[in-house]
Amino acid sequence: MRLPYPTNVRIVQVPCTGRVDVLHLLKPLEQGADGVYVSGCLPGECHYISGNLKAAKRVARVQKLIEALGVEPERVGIVYNSASMGPQFAQCCRDITERLRALGPIYSKD
């Protein structure tokens, strides 16, 4: 739909969010990203049956891990959008960007 969303959002497409591994969530944070979010199928409507449930469990695992390291768990999350929900996806990108901006940079520039 070519809807506008923040230019600092990087989209990585995967066949199913169930393919997103814990390392896929941690690596961007290690490389300086301020947050990582997964956008998956609506609950109960996963094309691969339970991929979004697997992704949600991995996101929760990463949230606990980074919290134990002293990083805000809100920097990692999951949202649910269907392919036809372009405007909602763009709004999610804007909302997440604002939340992360309010948290500040994950690493100080010192």
Other beta carbons within 10 angstroms of residue 69's beta carbon come to 8
Q: Tell me the pTM.
A: 0.90
For position 3, what pLDDT does the model report?
Answer: 86
**Alpha-carbon distances of 12 from 42, 69, 74, rounded to whole Å:** 18, 26, 20
Is there a contact between 18 and 50 (Cβ–Cβ < 8 Å)? yes
Joined together, the tokens standing for residue 99 give 């939340």
Q: How far apart are CA 36 and CA 27, in angstroms?
A: 10
pLDDT of res. 109: 58
Taken as a whole, the chain contains a residue count of 110
| pLDDT tens string 62-96 | 999 999 999 999 999 999 998 889 999 999 999 99
Q: Which one of 81-85, 96-100, 103-107 scores highest in mean pLDDT?
A: 96-100
CB 96 within 8 A of CB 77: yes
Residue 107: predicted pLDDT: 78
pLDDT tens digits, 22-44: 999 999 999 999 999 999 999 99
